[in-house]
Amino acid sequence: MQPLVDPFARAISYLRVSVTDRCDFRCTYCMSEHMTFLPKADLLSLEELDRLCTAFVRLGVQKLRITGGEPLVRKGILTFFEAMSRHLATGALKELTLTTNGSQLAKFAQPLADLGVRRINVSLDTLDPAKFAEITRWGRLPQVLDGIEAAKAAGLHVKINAVALKGFNEDELFSLADWCAANGHDLTFIEVMPMGEDMTAGRLDQYWPLKDLRARLAERLTLTDLAERTGGPARYVRIEETGQKIGFITPLTHNFCESCNRVRLTCTGQLYMCLGQEDMADLRAPLRASPDDASPDDAGPGDASLEQAIRAAIARKPNGHDFDYSRQKVAGQITRHMSHTGG
């Protein structure tokens, strides 16, 4: 079986899958308060998601990240994790992980750990309950902190993802870092991206370049750049005083595309070869047109057209994205929401 390699010789080994566009929060930078969600009939069933992800694993994907929307609000989600965990058991999949807002972790952390999940990303932008309610609109901080505790108790390694927001969490830079260090969590800051049709004006006001955030950290702490790369947009530093590792995801100020190893599947079966481009390939049509005629892990004749569609999509993976705030206007903006493509 030929592995998936794109036109720029990048091997595609990492699939991010959005299992739902729905969420129990309404973070201001991600969704409008009155989001219209996709009709349920458009969503792939868990069985269809299994078949698609399994096709990707057959084609060489070794890391699967489940995201959304909020993945843990998808009904039956543990069944899906259980299905994917069989690929961990065979060794075909090296890592099964998820990105979550943490609201449901108190319930799901232990079952996820039991199914082979080892590390999770939890999004948390502030440790102030009032600010948390403001930025997530519907979220409540204590529930998320309880969830993070449950994850820790279940032995899951937690990475906190915080979106850097000017005038919002600037003053929490050190308290967030200290809290993560004290609790043994990794921490990564993310630059806010121009996603979603009605939100781009606000994005520019909120944009806090991570080079500024980093400079502020360096005023008090000694930062050492780490060579470590994950094939994604994160760069890491070590804080010499504490040994803590902090990541920076800078899609807007740093071009990370040359080492991109990932593609994104939406909950409706669209494959986005680049987060920052509109081009996508519909995999739902070939999926539904081809019968699932084999046992779950052996490709049957029906899977040939599906695999062909995946390969044709990878052959169109673009060189990179065009996000750019540098001219003091939002360029290269993307009208779909992050919750659709999966962050």
> Which tokens go with 189?
């800051």
Our finding on whether 27 is near ligand SF4 (CB under 6 A) is yes
Determine phi and psi for 48, rounding to 5 degrees: -65, -40
Residue number, nearest CB to ligand SAM: 343
Q: Does 23 sit near ligand SAM (CB under 6 A)?
A: yes
102 binding ligand SF4? (CB under 6 A): no
Residue 23 interacts with ligand SF4 (CB under 6 A): yes or no: yes
Give the shortest CB-280-to-ligand SF4 separation in angstroms: 19
- What is the closest distance, in whole angstroms, from the C-beta atom of residue 27 to ligand SF4 in the complex? 3
Q: Tell me if 18 contacts ligand SF4 by CB under 6 A.
A: no
Site size toward ligand SF4, by CB under 6 A: 12
Chosen residue from 169, 339, 340, 341 binding ligand SF4 by CB under 6 A = 339
Does residue 161 belong to the site contacting ligand SAM (CB under 6 A)? yes
Please say whether the dihedral angle defined by the alpha carbons of residues 310, 315, 316 and 319, taken in this order, is positive or negative.
positive
Partner whose binding site includes residue 31, from ligand SAM, ligand SF4, none (CB under 5 to 8 Å by kind): ligand SF4
- E-strand ranges in the chain read 14-18, 63-67, 95-100, 119-123, 157-164, 186-191, 223-226, 234-239, 245-249, 262-265, 270-272, 280-282
Are the CB atoms for 121 and 162 separated by under 8 Å? no
CB closer to ligand SAM out of 54 and 169: 169
The two three-digit tokens of residue 263, written as one number: 């593609």
Of 174, 180, 139, the C-alpha closest to 161 is 180
Pairing of strands 234-239, 223-226: antiparallel
Minimum CB–partner distance for residue 24 and ligand SF4 (Å): 7
69 interacts with ligand SF4 by CB under 6 A = yes
- Angstrom distance (rounded) from CA 177 to CA 90: 37
| Structural contact between residues 238 and 226, judged by C-beta atoms closer than 8 angstroms | yes
Is position 71 an interface residue for ligand SF4 (rule: CB under 6 A)? no
Under the binding rule (CB under 6 A), the answer on residue 121 touching ligand SF4 is no
Could you tell me which stretch among 20-28, 49-57, 179-187, 240-248 binds ligand SF4 (CB under 6 A)? 20-28
Using rule CB under 6 A, residue 169 touches ligand SAM? no
- Which is closer to ligand SF4, CB of 206 or CB of 305? 206
| Cα 32 versus chain centre, distance | 19
Q: How do beta strands 95-100 and 119-123 pair?
A: parallel
Work out whether 30 is an interface residue with ligand SF4 (CB under 6 A).
Answer: yes
Rounded distance between C-alpha atoms, residue 45 and residue 53, angstroms: 12
Residues of this chain, 139-158, that bind ligand SAM according to CB under 6 A: none
- Contacts with ligand SF4 by CB under 6 A lie at 23, 25-27, 30-31, 68-70, 101, 123, 339
